[in-house]
Structure 1
Amino acid sequence: MPLTWNDLTVSFTHIDRNKLVEDWKWLVGQSLPILVTSIGDAFLQNESGEIYWLIAGSAEFEKVAESYEEFKIKLQDNELLNEWFLVPLVLQLKEQGSVLERGKLYGFKRLPVLGGKYEPENFELTDIEIHFALSGQMNFLIKDLPDGTQVNFRVSE
Protein backbone atom coordinates (compact mmCIF):
# COMPACT_ATOMS: atom_id res chain seq x y z
CA MET A 1 0.00 0.00 0.00
CA PRO A 2 1.72 3.22 -1.12
CA LEU A 3 1.82 6.30 1.09
CA THR A 4 1.33 9.83 -0.14
CA TRP A 5 2.45 13.16 1.30
CA ASN A 6 -1.13 13.52 2.61
CA ASP A 7 -0.65 10.33 4.64
CA LEU A 8 2.51 11.74 6.27
CA THR A 9 1.37 15.32 6.94
CA VAL A 10 -1.79 17.10 8.00
CA SER A 11 -3.15 20.45 6.95
CA PHE A 12 -3.39 22.98 9.76
CA THR A 13 -4.28 26.06 7.71
CA HIS A 14 -7.54 26.37 9.67
CA ILE A 15 -5.60 26.88 12.92
CA ASP A 16 -3.71 29.98 14.06
CA ARG A 17 -0.03 28.97 14.09
CA ASN A 18 0.63 30.82 17.36
CA LYS A 19 -2.29 29.08 19.04
CA LEU A 20 -1.12 25.69 17.80
CA VAL A 21 2.14 25.94 19.77
CA GLU A 22 0.84 28.07 22.63
CA ASP A 23 1.36 25.26 25.17
CA TRP A 24 4.88 24.66 23.81
CA LYS A 25 6.23 28.24 24.14
CA TRP A 26 8.26 27.11 27.16
CA LEU A 27 10.30 24.95 24.74
CA VAL A 28 9.97 26.50 21.27
CA GLY A 29 9.97 30.23 22.08
CA GLN A 30 8.66 32.30 19.18
CA SER A 31 9.17 29.57 16.55
CA LEU A 32 6.08 28.83 14.45
CA PRO A 33 4.96 25.61 12.77
CA ILE A 34 5.46 25.25 9.02
CA LEU A 35 4.66 21.53 8.76
CA VAL A 36 2.76 19.07 10.97
CA THR A 37 3.28 15.33 10.63
CA SER A 38 0.38 12.91 10.69
CA ILE A 39 2.03 11.25 13.69
CA GLY A 40 1.80 14.43 15.79
CA ASP A 41 5.19 16.10 15.51
CA ALA A 42 5.85 19.49 13.94
CA PHE A 43 8.55 21.39 12.12
CA LEU A 44 8.91 24.98 13.23
CA GLN A 45 10.81 27.95 11.87
CA ASN A 46 12.34 30.64 14.07
CA GLU A 47 12.92 34.32 13.32
CA SER A 48 16.35 33.52 11.86
CA GLY A 49 14.86 31.05 9.38
CA GLU A 50 16.23 27.94 11.07
CA ILE A 51 14.02 24.84 11.07
CA TYR A 52 13.45 22.75 14.20
CA TRP A 53 11.75 19.41 14.74
CA LEU A 54 9.36 19.33 17.72
CA ILE A 55 8.93 15.73 18.87
CA ALA A 56 5.72 16.05 20.87
CA GLY A 57 5.90 12.62 22.49
CA SER A 58 9.15 13.33 24.31
CA ALA A 59 9.42 17.15 24.26
CA GLU A 60 12.54 17.22 22.12
CA PHE A 61 13.26 20.30 20.01
CA GLU A 62 16.04 19.60 17.55
CA LYS A 63 17.51 21.86 14.89
CA VAL A 64 17.31 20.09 11.51
CA ALA A 65 18.16 22.81 8.96
CA GLU A 66 19.67 26.27 8.73
CA SER A 67 17.00 27.43 6.28
CA TYR A 68 13.74 26.47 4.62
CA GLU A 69 15.65 25.77 1.40
CA GLU A 70 17.96 23.31 3.20
CA PHE A 71 14.92 21.71 4.85
CA LYS A 72 13.24 21.15 1.45
CA ILE A 73 16.40 19.41 0.22
CA LYS A 74 16.51 17.18 3.32
CA LEU A 75 12.89 16.17 2.68
CA GLN A 76 14.18 14.34 -0.41
CA ASP A 77 16.28 12.00 1.80
CA ASN A 78 14.38 8.74 2.37
CA GLU A 79 16.28 7.95 5.56
CA LEU A 80 15.35 11.30 7.10
CA LEU A 81 11.76 10.94 5.87
CA ASN A 82 11.48 7.58 7.68
CA GLU A 83 12.91 9.08 10.88
CA TRP A 84 10.95 12.34 10.85
CA PHE A 85 7.60 11.02 9.62
CA LEU A 86 7.70 7.46 11.05
CA VAL A 87 6.77 6.07 7.64
CA PRO A 88 6.59 2.39 8.71
CA LEU A 89 4.25 3.26 11.59
CA VAL A 90 1.98 5.41 9.39
CA LEU A 91 1.87 2.55 6.89
CA GLN A 92 0.80 0.13 9.65
CA LEU A 93 -1.91 2.52 10.84
CA LYS A 94 -3.21 2.95 7.31
CA GLU A 95 -3.14 -0.82 6.67
CA GLN A 96 -5.18 -1.32 9.86
CA GLY A 97 -7.84 1.00 8.46
CA SER A 98 -7.07 4.16 10.43
CA VAL A 99 -7.81 6.92 7.95
CA LEU A 100 -6.92 10.55 8.64
CA GLU A 101 -9.78 13.03 8.74
CA ARG A 102 -9.63 16.80 8.27
CA GLY A 103 -8.46 18.49 11.46
CA LYS A 104 -7.08 15.27 12.98
CA LEU A 105 -3.78 13.44 13.29
CA TYR A 106 -2.57 10.20 14.84
CA GLY A 107 -2.22 11.19 18.49
CA PHE A 108 -0.79 9.22 21.37
CA LYS A 109 -3.04 7.42 23.81
CA ARG A 110 -0.06 7.55 26.18
CA LEU A 111 2.92 9.82 25.54
CA PRO A 112 6.25 8.01 25.10
CA VAL A 113 7.71 10.14 27.88
CA LEU A 114 5.08 8.49 30.12
CA GLY A 115 5.78 4.96 28.90
CA GLY A 116 3.76 4.90 25.67
CA LYS A 117 5.17 3.03 22.70
CA TYR A 118 5.57 3.97 19.06
CA GLU A 119 3.26 1.19 17.91
CA PRO A 120 -0.15 1.33 16.23
CA GLU A 121 -2.07 0.33 19.38
CA ASN A 122 -0.88 3.50 21.13
CA PHE A 123 -2.34 5.87 18.51
CA GLU A 124 -5.83 7.19 17.86
CA LEU A 125 -7.31 9.90 15.68
CA THR A 126 -7.04 13.11 17.68
CA ASP A 127 -7.92 16.75 17.02
CA ILE A 128 -4.73 18.60 16.02
CA GLU A 129 -5.20 21.44 18.52
CA ILE A 130 -6.04 19.10 21.38
CA HIS A 131 -2.99 16.95 20.62
CA PHE A 132 -0.55 19.88 20.78
CA ALA A 133 -2.25 21.46 23.79
CA LEU A 134 -2.32 18.29 25.90
CA SER A 135 1.14 17.04 24.92
CA GLY A 136 2.62 20.50 25.57
CA GLN A 137 0.92 20.80 28.96
CA MET A 138 1.84 17.27 30.06
CA ASN A 139 5.46 17.63 28.99
CA PHE A 140 5.67 20.98 30.77
CA LEU A 141 4.37 19.45 34.01
CA ILE A 142 7.00 16.70 34.03
CA LYS A 143 9.95 18.45 32.35
CA ASP A 144 11.94 18.91 35.57
CA LEU A 145 11.33 15.44 37.02
CA PRO A 146 14.21 12.96 37.05
CA ASP A 147 13.96 10.05 34.60
CA GLY A 148 12.07 7.13 36.06
CA THR A 149 9.90 9.22 38.40
CA GLN A 150 6.47 7.66 38.95
CA VAL A 151 3.81 10.04 37.64
CA ASN A 152 0.09 9.88 38.38
CA PHE A 153 -2.40 12.32 36.89
CA ARG A 154 -5.75 13.00 38.51
CA VAL A 155 -8.67 14.46 36.66
CA SER A 156 -10.51 16.98 38.79
CA GLU A 157 -14.18 17.72 38.34
Structure 2
Amino acid sequence: MSLTWNELTIRFDHIEREKLVEDWQWLVGSALPILITSVGDAFLQTASGEIYWLITGSGEFEKVADSYEDFQSKLQDNELVNEWFLIPVVAQLKELGVNLVDGKLYGFKQLPVLGGAYEPENYELSDIEVYFAMSGQINLKIKDIPDGTQVNFTITD
Protein backbone atom coordinates (compact mmCIF):
# COMPACT_ATOMS: atom_id res chain seq x y z
CA MET A 1 0.00 0.00 0.00
CA SER A 2 1.38 3.39 -0.91
CA LEU A 3 0.77 6.31 1.43
CA THR A 4 0.60 9.99 0.69
CA TRP A 5 2.28 12.76 2.66
CA ASN A 6 -1.21 13.74 3.90
CA GLU A 7 -1.57 10.29 5.48
CA LEU A 8 1.82 10.53 7.23
CA THR A 9 1.40 14.06 8.58
CA ILE A 10 -1.44 16.09 10.03
CA ARG A 11 -2.48 19.69 9.63
CA PHE A 12 -2.25 21.71 12.83
CA ASP A 13 -2.47 25.28 11.55
CA HIS A 14 -5.68 25.78 13.59
CA ILE A 15 -3.69 25.37 16.83
CA GLU A 16 -1.22 27.86 18.32
CA ARG A 17 2.19 26.20 18.08
CA GLU A 18 3.17 27.36 21.58
CA LYS A 19 -0.03 25.93 23.07
CA LEU A 20 0.47 22.59 21.34
CA VAL A 21 3.76 21.96 23.13
CA GLU A 22 3.13 23.78 26.42
CA ASP A 23 2.97 20.47 28.32
CA TRP A 24 6.32 19.52 26.77
CA GLN A 25 8.21 22.74 27.64
CA TRP A 26 10.08 20.87 30.38
CA LEU A 27 11.76 18.90 27.56
CA VAL A 28 11.64 21.09 24.43
CA GLY A 29 12.17 24.56 25.88
CA SER A 30 11.11 27.23 23.39
CA ALA A 31 11.32 25.01 20.28
CA LEU A 32 8.16 25.09 18.17
CA PRO A 33 6.54 22.42 16.00
CA ILE A 34 6.97 22.65 12.24
CA LEU A 35 5.63 19.19 11.34
CA ILE A 36 3.46 16.64 13.14
CA THR A 37 3.34 13.00 12.13
CA SER A 38 0.05 11.16 11.89
CA VAL A 39 1.30 8.90 14.72
CA GLY A 40 1.61 11.79 17.17
CA ASP A 41 5.28 12.71 17.07
CA ALA A 42 6.50 16.18 16.15
CA PHE A 43 9.46 17.90 14.57
CA LEU A 44 10.33 21.14 16.30
CA GLN A 45 12.64 23.96 15.32
CA THR A 46 14.74 25.94 17.78
CA ALA A 47 15.45 29.66 17.53
CA SER A 48 18.88 28.77 16.13
CA GLY A 49 17.25 26.74 13.35
CA GLU A 50 18.05 23.21 14.51
CA ILE A 51 15.36 20.55 14.05
CA TYR A 52 14.49 18.07 16.80
CA TRP A 53 12.24 15.01 16.82
CA LEU A 54 9.84 14.84 19.78
CA ILE A 55 8.93 11.20 20.33
CA THR A 56 5.79 11.48 22.44
CA GLY A 57 5.46 7.77 23.23
CA SER A 58 8.77 7.63 25.06
CA GLY A 59 9.43 11.26 26.01
CA GLU A 60 12.56 11.63 23.89
CA PHE A 61 13.79 14.79 22.15
CA GLU A 62 16.45 14.03 19.58
CA LYS A 63 18.31 16.41 17.27
CA VAL A 64 17.83 15.29 13.65
CA ALA A 65 19.06 18.23 11.55
CA ASP A 66 21.19 21.36 11.82
CA SER A 67 18.78 23.43 9.70
CA TYR A 68 15.43 23.32 7.93
CA GLU A 69 17.25 22.69 4.63
CA ASP A 70 19.16 19.80 6.20
CA PHE A 71 15.85 18.40 7.50
CA GLN A 72 14.27 18.68 4.04
CA SER A 73 17.12 16.69 2.51
CA LYS A 74 16.80 14.00 5.20
CA LEU A 75 13.14 13.62 4.28
CA GLN A 76 14.40 12.10 1.02
CA ASP A 77 15.97 9.20 2.94
CA ASN A 78 13.46 6.32 2.87
CA GLU A 79 14.98 4.62 5.91
CA LEU A 80 14.68 7.76 8.06
CA VAL A 81 11.16 8.46 6.80
CA ASN A 82 10.15 4.89 7.70
CA GLU A 83 11.54 5.35 11.22
CA TRP A 84 10.17 8.84 11.79
CA PHE A 85 6.69 8.33 10.35
CA LEU A 86 6.13 4.63 11.21
CA ILE A 87 4.96 3.89 7.67
CA PRO A 88 4.20 0.17 8.29
CA VAL A 89 1.97 1.02 11.27
CA VAL A 90 0.10 3.75 9.37
CA ALA A 91 -0.40 1.37 6.44
CA GLN A 92 -1.83 -1.28 8.76
CA LEU A 93 -4.16 1.23 10.42
CA LYS A 94 -5.44 2.28 7.00
CA GLU A 95 -5.95 -1.37 6.01
CA LEU A 96 -8.00 -1.79 9.20
CA GLY A 97 -10.17 1.15 8.11
CA VAL A 98 -8.86 3.61 10.72
CA ASN A 99 -8.68 6.81 8.70
CA LEU A 100 -7.55 10.23 9.86
CA VAL A 101 -10.04 13.06 10.15
CA ASP A 102 -9.37 16.77 10.71
CA GLY A 103 -8.24 17.57 14.23
CA LYS A 104 -7.20 13.98 15.00
CA LEU A 105 -4.05 11.88 14.92
CA TYR A 106 -3.22 8.26 15.66
CA GLY A 107 -2.48 8.40 19.37
CA PHE A 108 -1.32 5.64 21.67
CA LYS A 109 -3.90 3.98 23.88
CA GLN A 110 -0.99 3.11 26.19
CA LEU A 111 2.26 5.04 25.79
CA PRO A 112 5.30 2.83 25.05
CA VAL A 113 7.06 4.38 28.05
CA LEU A 114 4.30 2.67 30.09
CA GLY A 115 4.61 -0.65 28.27
CA GLY A 116 2.46 0.02 25.20
CA ALA A 117 3.48 -1.41 21.84
CA TYR A 118 4.13 0.22 18.48
CA GLU A 119 1.36 -1.97 17.03
CA PRO A 120 -1.84 -0.88 15.24
CA GLU A 121 -3.97 -2.28 18.09
CA ASN A 122 -2.39 0.25 20.47
CA TYR A 123 -3.46 3.27 18.42
CA GLU A 124 -6.73 5.15 18.30
CA LEU A 125 -7.92 8.39 16.78
CA SER A 126 -7.12 11.11 19.33
CA ASP A 127 -7.67 14.86 19.46
CA ILE A 128 -4.36 16.55 18.61
CA GLU A 129 -4.31 18.99 21.53
CA VAL A 130 -5.54 16.46 24.09
CA TYR A 131 -2.96 13.89 22.96
CA PHE A 132 -0.02 16.31 23.18
CA ALA A 133 -1.16 17.57 26.59
CA MET A 134 -1.75 14.09 28.01
CA SER A 135 1.45 12.54 26.68
CA GLY A 136 3.52 15.53 27.86
CA GLN A 137 2.03 15.43 31.34
CA ILE A 138 2.50 11.68 31.72
CA ASN A 139 6.10 11.77 30.48
CA LEU A 140 6.89 14.63 32.88
CA LYS A 141 5.43 12.75 35.85
CA ILE A 142 7.46 9.60 35.18
CA LYS A 143 10.69 11.01 33.75
CA ASP A 144 12.72 10.42 36.93
CA ILE A 145 11.22 7.05 37.87
CA PRO A 146 13.58 4.08 37.34
CA ASP A 147 12.71 1.62 34.54
CA GLY A 148 10.54 -1.25 35.72
CA THR A 149 8.86 0.70 38.53
CA GLN A 150 5.13 -0.08 38.92
CA VAL A 151 3.15 3.06 38.05
CA ASN A 152 -0.52 3.69 38.82
CA PHE A 153 -2.31 6.85 37.80
CA THR A 154 -5.78 8.22 37.24
CA ILE A 155 -6.81 10.54 34.44
CA THR A 156 -9.19 13.30 35.53
CA ASP A 157 -10.74 16.26 33.75
TM-score of the superposed pair, with normalisation by structure 1:
0.98
Partner of 1:101: 101
User: Which residue type is aligned with residue 53 of structure 2?
Assistant: W
Deviation of residue 12 (structure 1)? 0.2
Query: 1:13 is paired with a residue of what secondary structure?
Result: coil
Per-residue CA deviations over 1:126-146 (Å, capped at 9, x if unaligned) read: 000001000000000000100
Distance in 1 (alpha carbons) for counterparts of 2:144 and 2:123: 26
Partner of 1:66: 66
Partner of 1:45: 45
Query: 1:106 is paired with a residue of what secondary structure?
Result: strand
Deviation of residue 154 (structure 1)? 2.5
Distance in 2 (alpha carbons) for counterparts of 1:63 and 1:97: 34
Deviation of residue 24 (structure 1)? 0.1
1:29-44 alignment runs, 5 A limit:
29-44=29-44
Distance in 2 (alpha carbons) for counterparts of 1:13 and 1:132: 15
In percent, how many aligned pairs have the same letter?
A: 72
TM-score of the superposed pair, with normalisation by structure 2:
0.98
Aligned length: 157
Partner of 1:127: 127
Distance in 2 (alpha carbons) for counterparts of 1:105 and 1:26: 23
The runs of at least 4 consecutive aligned structure 1 residues that moved more than 2 Å come to: 154-157
1:76-155 alignment runs, 5 A limit:
76-155=76-155
Distance in 2 (alpha carbons) for counterparts of 1:123 and 1:95: 13
User: Which residue type is aligned with residue 125 of structure 1?
Assistant: L
Partner of 2:17: 17
Distance in 1 (alpha carbons) for counterparts of 2:37 and 2:13: 13
Per-residue CA deviations over 1:18-52 (Å, capped at 9, x if unaligned) read: 00000000000000000000000000000100000
Partner of 2:54: 54
User: Which residue type is aligned with residue 8 of structure 1?
Assistant: L
Deviation of residue 155 (structure 1)? 4.2
User: Which residue type is aligned with residue 118 of structure 2?
Assistant: Y
